[in-house]
A and B are shown apart, each in its own frame.
Chain A
Amino acid sequence: MGLYRVVAVVSYRRGLKDPEAETIYRDLILRHGYSAVKEVRVGKQFTLLVEAESPERAVNYVKEICDKLMIYNPVIHELYVTIHA
């Protein structure tokens, strides 16, 4: 068993509008001249400290949490779960 820091990021699925990101991109980033930035996406990040046998299990455990507890809506969101290095 080990302790793993697992990061889950929920953001709007690609192709859907992301008004918050668009506002940040247009009114903050571009307005201040950072024109090398081509796109911004915004999401919500959860960091969980999980006890598990392996990093894979820790990731799957967190995925299950996000699904079962309806942390995100698969119709509109994408979920990205990874081990915090």
Chain B
Amino acid sequence: MMQFTCPHCGPRDQAEFIYERTVDAVVSLDAAPEDAMKTLFTRNNPRGVDEEIWRHTYGCRAWMVIARNRVTNEISATRAVGPEALP
């Protein structure tokens, strides 16, 4: 099983986290219908690294972005998102 490092709670089992979608799949509220459709329904789905949004659902419930290699499961970066991550 993988271990993620939550920006708030430190290293935790992956079982505590739920995957949401990739960073580029978040539909902006003012997107044109065609763009919204593409963002909503399609994914790069690379055989390599993608930036994924995960939530520490069974922990602090915070959202975070994790850059993970989808073949090796190697995690290259984790960052918090949301108001608390603002400078």
A, B assembled together: no
